[in-house]
Amino acid sequence: MSDVPTVRVEAVPQQHLGQQTEAAAMISMIERMAKDPTVDVEKMARILEMRYQLQQQQALTEFNNALAEAQAEMDPVRKDCQNPQTRSRYASFYALDEAVRPVYTSKGLTVSFDTDPANSKPGEIMVLAYVSLGGYTRTYRIPMPNDGIGAKGGMVMTKTHAMGSAITYGRRYLLSAIFNIATADSDDDGNAASRRPPLPAPNAMRDAKAAYTITKDVVSTDRWKELDHVLGEAAKRGTAVLQTAWLNLNNLEKKAMKAALDRRYKATAEEADQHHEEANYEASEANEEDQERDGDSIPF
């Protein structure tokens, strides 16, 4: 046998090789031009600037193509929360994020959020979203009120609570606007925002009652759907109601629903708690105003 050691050689991906070769060639050219006293520095600067603009244009084209591909694969998102003040339903940030994140990340896009206090007006906070692909980043922004003032003009929350609420709403509005997300009141096929398992194929031999029974090892698809509805409705009424509904499940059901609990139900319950707190603040404020008016009308 030969004592010559084996050398393992791994191929470099062609696209990476091309990028490395181009970058190395550019650096080498700049070094040669910098050492050549006859080179027109201004002309070289214009050439480099033109090259930079071409690279930016190419990056913009790739970004727009990825954004278009991501939007083409995004389905409407189910409205999973209720606003007690406006008596309307809406899709929470968590439902939006759960629905769109797997799609845009598969296209190489990243989304991050920030605030810009320096460019915010009094009583509001500027919320920013950065959407990136490779070396290109596009910034989206939306101003959100954070003064804690309710619909009736009174203070309904603390400054800290108001700031957190403004950022949460801003992130939700921005994410929906970036990808042009539509929201729906129902999720009939179960495959949109909630990412529920698809319904089983029709089977004439299956007993109708079997759809709601729990097997020895797994929860049936129809039972999972039923539990998802129960826990989702409980979450809309707040954390306390969700906890009660959760305690009514057996161990197998809890195991099957644990992932959805952490991803969606808890977040929905927290938003419901927040809306309830805001509504209580407004109700308390209105009650105090009524008492003040009644007190002023009492003759002495």
How many separate domains does the chain show?
2
Do 80 and 164 lie in one domain? The reply is yes
Do 67 and 168 lie in one domain? The reply is yes
Q: State pLDDT tens for residues 242-268.
A: 888 888 888 888 888 888 888 888 888
Do 236 and 142 lie in one domain? The reply is no
229: exposed, middle or buried (Cβ count in 10 Å: 0-12, 13-18, 19+): exposed
Label residue 68 by pLDDT band (50, 70, 90): very high
Within a domain: 133: yes
Q: What is the mean pLDDT of the chain?
A: 75
Within a domain: 3: no
How many other C-beta atoms can be found within 10 angstroms of the C-beta atom of residue 11?
Answer: 6
Do 176 and 253 lie in one domain? The reply is no
Which among 111, 159, 109, 114 is positioned nearest to 133, based on CA atoms?
109
Residues 156-169 have a mean pLDDT of 82
Do 154 and 256 lie in one domain? The reply is no
Range of the domain at 223: 211-291
pLDDT at residue 66 is higher than 50: yes
| Boundary (domain end) residue, out of 139, 165, 194 | 194
Within a domain: 274: yes
Label residue 152 by pLDDT band (50, 70, 90): low
Q: Please state which of the ranges 34-38, 148-152, 168-172, 289-293 shows the lowest mean pLDDT.
A: 289-293
Query: Does 222 or 77 have the greater pLDDT score?
Result: 77
Within a domain: 28: no
Within a domain: 43: no
Q: State pLDDT tens for residues 17-64.
A: 445 566 677 677 777 777 777 877 787 788 778 878 888 888 899 999
Query: Does 181 or 38 have the greater pLDDT score?
Result: 181
Within a domain: 183: yes
Task: Tell me, yes or no, if the pTM score tops 0.95.
Answer: no
pLDDT at residue 80 is higher than 70: yes
Tokens of 41: 């520095």
258: exposed, middle or buried (Cβ count in 10 Å: 0-12, 13-18, 19+): exposed
25 φ, ψ (degrees, to nearest 5): -65, -40
Do 154 and 63 lie in one domain? The reply is yes
| Boundary (domain end) residue, out of 130, 160, 194 | 194
Tokens of 129: 């979203």
Do 147 and 267 lie in one domain? The reply is no
Do 107 and 234 lie in one domain? The reply is no
> How much is the pLDDT for 101?
93
> How much is the pLDDT for 150?
60
Do 184 and 231 lie in one domain? The reply is no
Do 226 and 185 lie in one domain? The reply is no
Within a domain: 68: yes
Residues 169-180 have a mean pLDDT of 92
Q: State pLDDT tens for residues 268-300.
A: 888 888 877 776 666 555 555 555 444 444 443
> How much is the pLDDT for 110?
95
Within a domain: 143: yes
